[in-house]
Protein backbone atom coordinates (compact mmCIF):
# COMPACT_ATOMS: atom_id res chain seq x y z
CA UNK A 1 0.00 0.00 0.00
CA UNK A 2 2.89 2.34 0.76
CA UNK A 3 4.36 1.55 -2.65
CA UNK A 4 1.03 2.27 -4.33
CA UNK A 5 0.69 5.61 -2.52
CA UNK A 6 4.23 6.47 -3.54
CA UNK A 7 3.30 5.73 -7.17
CA UNK A 8 0.23 7.93 -6.78
CA UNK A 9 2.37 10.78 -5.46
CA UNK A 10 4.97 10.49 -8.24
CA UNK A 11 2.25 10.24 -10.86
CA UNK A 12 0.48 13.30 -9.48
CA UNK A 13 3.76 15.23 -9.43
CA UNK A 14 4.31 14.40 -13.11
CA UNK A 15 0.92 15.98 -13.86
CA UNK A 16 1.44 18.92 -11.53
CA UNK A 17 0.40 21.53 -14.08
CA UNK A 18 -3.01 19.98 -14.79
CA UNK A 19 -3.54 19.18 -11.14
CA UNK A 20 -2.51 22.71 -10.21
CA UNK A 21 -5.19 24.05 -12.54
CA UNK A 22 -7.73 21.68 -11.02
CA UNK A 23 -6.71 22.79 -7.56
CA UNK A 24 -7.14 26.44 -8.52
CA UNK A 25 -10.54 25.66 -10.08
CA UNK A 26 -11.63 24.03 -6.84
CA UNK A 27 -10.24 26.88 -4.77
CA UNK A 28 -12.10 29.45 -6.85
CA UNK A 29 -15.32 27.45 -6.68
CA UNK A 30 -15.05 27.26 -2.89
CA UNK A 31 -14.20 30.94 -2.59
CA UNK A 32 -17.11 31.95 -4.77
CA UNK A 33 -19.61 29.66 -3.03
CA UNK A 34 -18.63 30.74 0.44
CA UNK A 35 -18.41 34.41 -0.49
CA UNK A 36 -21.96 34.44 -1.84
CA UNK A 37 -23.19 32.44 1.13
CA UNK A 38 -21.40 34.73 3.57
CA UNK A 39 -22.66 37.92 2.03
CA UNK A 40 -26.17 36.48 2.13
CA UNK A 41 -25.91 35.53 5.79
CA UNK A 42 -24.08 38.69 6.76
CA UNK A 43 -26.55 40.92 4.96
CA UNK A 44 -29.23 39.39 7.13
CA UNK A 45 -27.03 39.74 10.20
CA UNK A 46 -26.34 43.37 9.44
CA UNK A 47 -30.08 43.83 9.18
CA UNK A 48 -30.99 42.09 12.39
CA UNK A 49 -28.07 43.62 14.27
CA UNK A 50 -29.08 47.20 13.61
CA UNK A 51 -30.14 47.38 17.24
CA UNK A 52 -28.89 45.34 20.12
CA UNK A 53 -29.65 45.25 23.80
CA UNK A 54 -32.95 47.09 23.34
CA UNK A 55 -35.82 45.26 25.01
CA UNK A 56 -38.71 47.31 23.66
CA UNK A 57 -39.31 49.89 20.99
CA UNK A 58 -42.16 52.22 21.91
CA UNK A 59 -44.16 54.53 19.65
CA UNK A 60 -47.65 55.70 18.84
CA UNK A 61 -50.06 52.90 18.07
CA UNK A 62 -49.43 51.63 14.55
CA UNK A 63 -48.12 48.43 12.96
CA UNK A 64 -45.10 46.79 14.60
CA UNK A 65 -43.22 46.67 11.32
CA UNK A 66 -43.98 50.30 10.61
CA UNK A 67 -42.78 51.32 14.07
CA UNK A 68 -39.49 49.46 13.50
CA UNK A 69 -39.13 51.01 10.07
CA UNK A 70 -39.23 54.58 11.28
CA UNK A 71 -37.81 54.17 14.78
CA UNK A 72 -34.84 51.98 13.88
CA UNK A 73 -34.32 52.39 10.15
CA UNK A 74 -35.51 56.00 9.97
CA UNK A 75 -37.50 55.07 6.91
CA UNK A 76 -40.99 56.42 6.33
CA UNK A 77 -42.78 58.83 8.60
CA UNK A 78 -44.52 58.30 11.91
CA UNK A 79 -48.25 58.76 11.75
CA UNK A 80 -48.37 60.07 15.30
CA UNK A 81 -46.04 61.25 18.00
CA UNK A 82 -46.13 60.41 21.68
CA UNK A 83 -46.20 63.03 24.35
CA UNK A 84 -43.27 63.79 26.60
CA UNK A 85 -45.45 62.92 29.59
CA UNK A 86 -46.09 59.42 28.26
CA UNK A 87 -42.39 59.02 27.62
CA UNK A 88 -41.62 60.12 31.15
CA UNK A 89 -44.14 57.65 32.52
CA UNK A 90 -42.38 54.84 30.72
CA UNK A 91 -38.82 56.02 31.38
CA UNK A 92 -39.47 56.28 35.12
CA UNK A 93 -41.28 52.95 35.38
CA UNK A 94 -39.54 50.83 38.04
CA UNK A 95 -38.83 47.97 35.61
CA UNK A 96 -37.04 50.29 33.19
CA UNK A 97 -33.27 50.56 33.36
CA UNK A 98 -32.84 53.20 30.70
CA UNK A 99 -34.79 54.83 27.88
CA UNK A 100 -33.70 56.81 24.85
CA UNK A 101 -36.15 59.30 23.28
CA UNK A 102 -36.14 59.53 19.49
CA UNK A 103 -37.47 62.51 17.60
CA UNK A 104 -37.60 62.22 13.84
CA UNK A 105 -39.01 64.22 11.00
CA UNK A 106 -36.29 66.56 9.79
CA UNK A 107 -33.64 65.70 7.28
CA UNK A 108 -30.51 67.00 5.65
CA UNK A 109 -29.98 66.31 1.95
CA UNK A 110 -31.76 62.97 2.14
CA UNK A 111 -30.24 61.84 5.44
CA UNK A 112 -32.50 61.52 8.49
CA UNK A 113 -32.07 63.82 11.45
CA UNK A 114 -32.50 62.16 14.81
CA UNK A 115 -33.18 64.21 17.91
CA UNK A 116 -32.23 62.34 21.04
CA UNK A 117 -30.53 62.71 24.41
CA UNK A 118 -26.77 62.91 24.85
CA UNK A 119 -27.08 59.53 26.58
CA UNK A 120 -27.69 57.99 23.17
CA UNK A 121 -24.00 57.63 22.31
CA UNK A 122 -23.25 55.85 25.57
CA UNK A 123 -26.37 53.67 25.59
CA UNK A 124 -26.97 52.66 22.02
CA UNK A 125 -25.72 49.19 21.03
CA UNK A 126 -25.68 47.44 17.68
CA UNK A 127 -24.37 44.18 16.28
CA UNK A 128 -22.87 42.06 19.02
CA UNK A 129 -23.48 44.62 21.76
CA UNK A 130 -21.01 47.01 20.21
CA UNK A 131 -20.92 50.64 21.25
CA UNK A 132 -20.97 53.61 18.95
CA UNK A 133 -17.47 54.95 18.52
CA UNK A 134 -16.42 58.40 17.45
CA UNK A 135 -14.01 58.58 14.56
CA UNK A 136 -13.58 62.26 15.28
CA UNK A 137 -14.87 64.76 17.80
CA UNK A 138 -17.38 64.18 20.58
CA UNK A 139 -21.12 64.11 21.35
CA UNK A 140 -23.19 67.23 20.98
CA UNK A 141 -23.33 69.34 24.13
CA UNK A 142 -25.59 72.26 23.35
CA UNK A 143 -28.23 73.47 20.97
CA UNK A 144 -27.34 73.56 17.25
CA UNK A 145 -24.62 70.98 17.51
CA UNK A 146 -24.70 67.78 15.42
CA UNK A 147 -22.99 64.41 15.28
CA UNK A 148 -22.81 62.82 11.82
CA UNK A 149 -22.97 59.16 10.87
CA UNK A 150 -19.93 57.98 8.91
CA UNK A 151 -21.75 57.74 5.61
CA UNK A 152 -23.24 61.20 5.93
CA UNK A 153 -19.79 62.69 6.51
CA UNK A 154 -18.26 60.71 3.66
CA UNK A 155 -20.99 61.26 1.11
CA UNK A 156 -21.28 64.99 1.73
CA UNK A 157 -17.61 65.61 2.52
CA UNK A 158 -18.26 67.14 5.95
CA UNK A 159 -15.59 67.69 8.56
CA UNK A 160 -15.58 68.79 12.18
CA UNK A 161 -16.83 72.34 12.77
CA UNK A 162 -18.52 72.53 9.37
CA UNK A 163 -21.88 74.32 9.44
CA UNK A 164 -24.93 72.57 8.06
CA UNK A 165 -28.56 73.58 7.80
CA UNK A 166 -31.41 71.11 8.19
CA UNK A 167 -34.59 70.80 6.15
CA UNK A 168 -38.04 70.36 7.54
CA UNK A 169 -39.62 67.05 6.61
CA UNK A 170 -38.03 64.17 4.82
CA UNK A 171 -38.08 65.49 1.26
CA UNK A 172 -34.68 66.42 -0.08
CA UNK A 173 -35.85 69.90 -1.02
CA UNK A 174 -38.19 70.58 1.88
CA UNK A 175 -38.46 74.01 3.53
CA UNK A 176 -35.15 74.98 5.12
CA UNK A 177 -34.30 75.78 8.67
CA UNK A 178 -31.78 78.06 7.02
CA UNK A 179 -31.65 80.61 9.82
CA UNK A 180 -30.35 78.10 12.35
CA UNK A 181 -27.20 76.32 11.15
CA UNK A 182 -25.68 73.41 13.11
CA UNK A 183 -22.02 72.92 13.94
CA UNK A 184 -20.56 69.42 13.45
CA UNK A 185 -19.04 68.33 16.77
CA UNK A 186 -18.46 64.65 16.02
CA UNK A 187 -18.34 62.01 13.31
CA UNK A 188 -19.09 58.36 14.14
CA UNK A 189 -17.10 55.34 12.99
CA UNK A 190 -18.88 53.05 10.48
CA UNK A 191 -21.28 50.58 12.09
CA UNK A 192 -23.11 48.94 9.19
CA UNK A 193 -26.39 50.16 10.74
CA UNK A 194 -28.77 53.05 10.01
CA UNK A 195 -26.66 55.17 12.40
CA UNK A 196 -24.23 55.63 9.50
CA UNK A 197 -26.91 57.48 7.56
CA UNK A 198 -28.15 59.61 10.42
CA UNK A 199 -27.47 63.12 11.76
CA UNK A 200 -27.78 63.16 15.52
CA UNK A 201 -28.82 66.30 17.38
CA UNK A 202 -30.27 67.02 20.81
CA UNK A 203 -34.02 67.09 21.48
CA UNK A 204 -33.61 70.72 22.51
CA UNK A 205 -32.23 71.53 19.08
CA UNK A 206 -35.30 70.00 17.48
CA UNK A 207 -37.53 72.15 19.72
CA UNK A 208 -35.49 75.26 18.96
CA UNK A 209 -35.77 74.68 15.22
CA UNK A 210 -39.52 74.65 15.41
CA UNK A 211 -40.11 77.54 17.84
CA UNK A 212 -41.32 79.81 15.07
CA UNK A 213 -43.09 77.01 13.19
CA UNK A 214 -46.66 75.93 13.51
CA UNK A 215 -48.25 72.98 11.81
CA UNK A 216 -45.28 72.18 9.58
CA UNK A 217 -44.67 75.68 8.17
CA UNK A 218 -42.91 78.85 9.38
CA UNK A 219 -45.28 81.31 10.99
CA UNK A 220 -45.36 84.35 8.68
CA UNK A 221 -43.76 87.43 10.17
CA UNK A 222 -42.35 85.60 13.18
CA UNK A 223 -38.61 85.06 13.20
CA UNK A 224 -36.78 83.96 16.27
CA UNK A 225 -33.04 84.29 15.62
CA UNK A 226 -30.77 81.54 16.78
CA UNK A 227 -29.14 83.61 19.49
CA UNK A 228 -32.48 84.11 21.28
CA UNK A 229 -33.68 80.52 21.41
CA UNK A 230 -32.02 79.95 24.76
CA UNK A 231 -34.59 82.27 26.33
CA UNK A 232 -37.38 79.87 25.45
CA UNK A 233 -38.41 76.68 27.17
CA UNK A 234 -36.79 74.07 24.93
CA UNK A 235 -38.03 71.02 26.82
CA UNK A 236 -39.57 68.70 24.24
CA UNK A 237 -43.34 68.41 24.22
CA UNK A 238 -43.47 65.31 22.12
CA UNK A 239 -41.19 62.72 20.59
CA UNK A 240 -41.58 60.09 17.86
CA UNK A 241 -40.50 56.89 19.58
CA UNK A 242 -38.34 55.52 22.37
CA UNK A 243 -35.90 52.69 22.86
CA UNK A 244 -36.26 51.00 26.24
CA UNK A 245 -33.86 48.79 28.17
CA UNK A 246 -35.18 46.84 31.17
CA UNK A 247 -33.48 45.94 34.43
CA UNK A 248 -34.53 42.34 33.91
CA UNK A 249 -35.31 40.82 30.55
CA UNK A 250 -37.97 38.68 32.20
CA UNK A 251 -40.11 41.77 32.65
CA UNK A 252 -40.40 42.38 28.95
CA UNK A 253 -43.95 41.08 28.45
CA UNK A 254 -45.19 42.80 31.58
CA UNK A 255 -43.69 46.07 30.39
CA UNK A 256 -45.07 45.56 26.90
CA UNK A 257 -48.51 45.13 28.39
CA UNK A 258 -48.04 48.28 30.49
CA UNK A 259 -47.23 50.33 27.39
CA UNK A 260 -49.94 48.83 25.21
CA UNK A 261 -52.57 49.48 27.89
CA UNK A 262 -51.30 52.95 28.78
CA UNK A 263 -54.27 55.14 29.54
CA UNK A 264 -52.93 58.55 28.50
CA UNK A 265 -52.79 57.80 24.77
CA UNK A 266 -52.71 54.78 22.42
CA UNK A 267 -49.16 53.42 22.47
CA UNK A 268 -47.40 50.37 21.02
CA UNK A 269 -44.39 48.48 22.31
CA UNK A 270 -42.68 45.84 20.18
CA UNK A 271 -39.83 43.43 20.81
CA UNK A 272 -37.18 44.40 18.27
CA UNK A 273 -36.10 40.79 17.49
CA UNK A 274 -39.65 39.71 16.75
CA UNK A 275 -40.41 42.78 14.68
CA UNK A 276 -37.14 42.53 12.74
CA UNK A 277 -37.90 38.92 11.86
CA UNK A 278 -41.34 39.98 10.71
CA UNK A 279 -39.81 42.79 8.70
CA UNK A 280 -37.23 40.45 7.14
CA UNK A 281 -40.01 38.08 6.13
CA UNK A 282 -41.52 41.02 4.31
CA UNK A 283 -38.41 41.43 2.20
CA UNK A 284 -37.67 37.69 1.95
CA UNK A 285 -37.78 38.06 -1.82
CA UNK A 286 -34.34 39.63 -1.61
CA UNK A 287 -33.00 36.70 0.35
CA UNK A 288 -34.59 34.19 -1.99
CA UNK A 289 -32.96 35.95 -4.93
CA UNK A 290 -29.58 35.74 -3.23
CA UNK A 291 -30.24 32.09 -2.51
CA UNK A 292 -31.00 31.44 -6.18
CA UNK A 293 -27.79 33.22 -7.14
CA UNK A 294 -25.91 31.03 -4.65
CA UNK A 295 -27.42 27.89 -6.14
CA UNK A 296 -26.46 28.97 -9.66
CA UNK A 297 -22.94 29.74 -8.51
CA UNK A 298 -22.76 26.29 -6.90
CA UNK A 299 -23.85 24.63 -10.13
CA UNK A 300 -21.48 26.59 -12.33
CA UNK A 301 -18.58 26.12 -9.93
CA UNK A 302 -19.08 22.38 -9.66
CA UNK A 303 -19.61 21.96 -13.42
CA UNK A 304 -16.37 23.80 -14.12
CA UNK A 305 -14.63 21.64 -11.58
CA UNK A 306 -15.90 18.42 -13.14
CA UNK A 307 -14.86 19.62 -16.60
CA UNK A 308 -11.31 20.38 -15.45
CA UNK A 309 -10.99 16.97 -13.82
CA UNK A 310 -12.35 15.14 -16.85
CA UNK A 311 -9.94 16.93 -19.14
CA UNK A 312 -7.06 15.86 -16.89
CA UNK A 313 -8.05 12.21 -16.94
CA UNK A 314 -7.23 11.63 -20.58
CA UNK A 315 -3.61 12.12 -19.64
CA UNK A 316 -3.85 9.18 -17.28
CA UNK A 317 -5.38 6.64 -19.59
CA UNK A 318 -2.09 5.18 -20.79
CA UNK A 319 -0.66 5.18 -17.30
CA UNK A 320 -3.64 3.27 -15.92
CA UNK A 321 -3.37 0.83 -18.81
CA UNK A 322 0.28 0.07 -18.08
CA UNK A 323 -0.37 -0.39 -14.38
CA UNK A 324 -3.26 -2.73 -15.08
CA UNK A 325 -1.15 -4.78 -17.48
CA UNK A 326 1.41 -5.16 -14.71
CA UNK A 327 -1.18 -6.52 -12.31
CA UNK A 328 -2.60 -3.48 -10.53
CA UNK A 329 -6.06 -4.52 -9.37
CA UNK A 330 -9.23 -2.52 -8.79
CA UNK A 331 -8.24 -1.95 -5.15
CA UNK A 332 -4.85 -0.48 -6.08
CA UNK A 333 -6.41 1.69 -8.72
CA UNK A 334 -9.13 2.89 -6.38
CA UNK A 335 -6.52 3.77 -3.79
CA UNK A 336 -4.45 5.74 -6.29
CA UNK A 337 -7.37 7.65 -7.76
CA UNK A 338 -8.96 8.35 -4.38
CA UNK A 339 -5.75 9.45 -2.72
CA UNK A 340 -5.13 11.93 -5.48
CA UNK A 341 -8.75 13.09 -5.67
CA UNK A 342 -9.06 13.63 -1.94
CA UNK A 343 -5.72 15.37 -1.69
CA UNK A 344 -6.34 17.76 -4.59
CA UNK A 345 -9.92 18.62 -3.65
CA UNK A 346 -9.09 19.05 0.02
CA UNK A 347 -6.06 21.21 -0.78
CA UNK A 348 -8.23 23.18 -3.19
CA UNK A 349 -10.92 23.71 -0.57
CA UNK A 350 -8.29 24.83 1.94
CA UNK A 351 -6.78 27.25 -0.56
CA UNK A 352 -10.29 28.52 -1.27
CA UNK A 353 -10.82 29.21 2.42
CA UNK A 354 -7.51 31.07 2.63
CA UNK A 355 -8.44 33.11 -0.45
CA UNK A 356 -11.82 33.89 1.04
CA UNK A 357 -10.32 35.00 4.33
CA UNK A 358 -7.75 37.22 2.63
CA UNK A 359 -10.32 38.65 0.22
CA UNK A 360 -12.94 39.30 2.87
CA UNK A 361 -10.40 40.98 5.13
CA UNK A 362 -9.37 43.19 2.24
CA UNK A 363 -12.94 43.88 1.18
CA UNK A 364 -14.56 44.18 4.62
CA UNK A 365 -13.81 47.90 5.20
CA UNK A 366 -14.98 48.73 1.70
CA UNK A 367 -18.18 46.68 2.05
CA UNK A 368 -18.91 48.35 5.37
CA UNK A 369 -18.21 51.84 4.04
CA UNK A 370 -20.06 51.50 0.76
CA UNK A 371 -22.78 48.94 1.36
CA UNK A 372 -23.11 48.92 5.12
CA UNK A 373 -22.65 45.15 5.14
CA UNK A 374 -20.54 43.86 8.01
CA UNK A 375 -18.49 40.97 6.62
CA UNK A 376 -17.19 38.89 9.49
CA UNK A 377 -14.10 36.70 9.52
CA UNK A 378 -14.94 33.36 11.07
CA UNK A 379 -14.63 29.62 10.83
CA UNK A 380 -16.94 28.04 8.29
CA UNK A 381 -20.36 27.31 9.74
CA UNK A 382 -22.45 24.20 9.22
CA UNK A 383 -23.96 25.30 5.92
CA UNK A 384 -20.58 26.37 4.63
CA UNK A 385 -19.06 23.03 5.60
CA UNK A 386 -21.88 21.34 3.69
CA UNK A 387 -20.98 23.43 0.65
CA UNK A 388 -17.31 22.50 0.99
CA UNK A 389 -18.39 18.88 1.34
CA UNK A 390 -20.39 19.14 -1.89
CA UNK A 391 -17.35 20.54 -3.67
CA UNK A 392 -15.08 17.76 -2.42
CA UNK A 393 -17.66 15.08 -3.27
CA UNK A 394 -18.06 16.44 -6.78
CA UNK A 395 -14.30 16.52 -7.16
CA UNK A 396 -14.05 12.91 -6.05
CA UNK A 397 -16.91 11.66 -8.19
CA UNK A 398 -15.64 13.61 -11.17
CA UNK A 399 -12.21 12.01 -10.81
CA UNK A 400 -13.28 8.50 -9.77
CA UNK A 401 -16.04 7.60 -12.20
CA UNK A 402 -14.17 8.45 -15.40
CA UNK A 403 -10.98 7.03 -13.90
CA UNK A 404 -12.77 3.78 -13.32
CA UNK A 405 -14.10 3.77 -16.86
CA UNK A 406 -10.67 4.50 -18.26
CA UNK A 407 -9.29 1.60 -16.26
CA UNK A 408 -11.91 -0.84 -17.47
CA UNK A 409 -11.31 0.00 -21.09
CA UNK A 410 -7.57 0.32 -20.77
CA UNK A 411 -6.27 -3.23 -20.79
CA UNK A 412 -5.98 -3.33 -24.56
CA UNK A 413 -3.99 -0.08 -24.51
CA UNK A 414 -1.50 -1.45 -22.03
CA UNK A 415 -0.96 -4.82 -23.67
CA UNK A 416 -0.89 -3.98 -27.34
CA UNK A 417 2.15 -2.37 -28.87
CA UNK A 418 0.19 0.31 -30.67
CA UNK A 419 -0.51 3.56 -28.88
Residue 5 engages other proteins in binding (rule: CB under 8 A): no
Q: Is residue 214 at the binding interface for other proteins, with CB under 8 A as the rule?
A: no
- When asked if residue 4 is in the footprint of other proteins (CB under 8 A), the reply is yes
Options 14, 138, 248, 289; binder of other proteins; rule CB under 8 A:
14
Determine, following the binding rule CB under 8 A, whether residue 406 of this chain makes contact with other proteins. no
Residue 20 binds other proteins, judged by CB under 8 A: no
Identify the CA nearest to 35 among candidates 342, 373, 393: 373
The only residue of 138, 289, 361, 416 in contact with other proteins, by rule CB under 8 A: 416
Measured distance CA(361)–CA(306) in Å, rounded? 30
As a three-state string, the secondary structure of 79-102 is CCCEEHHHHHHHHCCCCEEEEEEE
- Chain centroid, CA 383 distance in Å: 17
Asked if residue 272 binds other proteins (CB under 8 A), the reply is: no
Tell whether residue 314 is a contact of other proteins (CB under 8 A): no
Q: Report if residue 13 touches other proteins, rule: CB under 8 A.
A: yes
**Among 61-69, 273-281, 395-403, 406-414, the segment contacting other proteins (CB under 8 A):** 406-414
Coil, helix or strand for 116? Answer: strand
Judged by phi (left if over 0) then psi (alpha if -120 to 50, else beta), residue 157 lies in left
Indicate which single residue of 10, 141, 173, 285 sits in contact with other proteins (rule: CB under 8 A).
10
What is the number of helices (H) and of strands (E) in the chain? 14, 17
User: Would you call 290 exposed, middle or buried from its count of C-beta atoms within 10 A (0-12, 13-18, 19+)?
Assistant: middle
Give 366-385 as a DSSP string: HHHHHH----------HHHH
Q: How far is the CB of 349 from other proteins (least distance, A)?
A: 26
Site for other proteins in 321-360 (CB under 8 A): 322-330, 332
Q: Which is nearer to other proteins, 292 or 412 (CB)?
A: 412
Task: Provide, rounded to whole angstroms, the least separation between the CB of residue 338 and other proteins.
Answer: 17
Which residues are registered as beta bridge partners of 52? 125
Using the rule CB under 8 A, is 151 a contact of other proteins?
A: no
- State the residues that interact with other proteins by CB under 8 A: 3-4, 7, 10-11, 13-14, 319, 322-330, 332, 411-412, 414-419
Amino acid sequence: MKAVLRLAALSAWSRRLTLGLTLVAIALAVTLLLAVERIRVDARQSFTQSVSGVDLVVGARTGGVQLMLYAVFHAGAASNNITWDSYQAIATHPAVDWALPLSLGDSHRGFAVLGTSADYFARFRYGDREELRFRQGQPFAGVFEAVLGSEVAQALGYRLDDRITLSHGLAELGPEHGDKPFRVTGILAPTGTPADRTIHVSLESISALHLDWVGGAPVPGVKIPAEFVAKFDLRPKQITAALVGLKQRGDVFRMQRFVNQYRGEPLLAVLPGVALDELWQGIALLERTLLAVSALVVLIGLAGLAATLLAGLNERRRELAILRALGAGPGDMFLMLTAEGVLVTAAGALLGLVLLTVASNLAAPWLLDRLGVVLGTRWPGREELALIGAVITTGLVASLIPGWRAWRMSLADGLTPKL
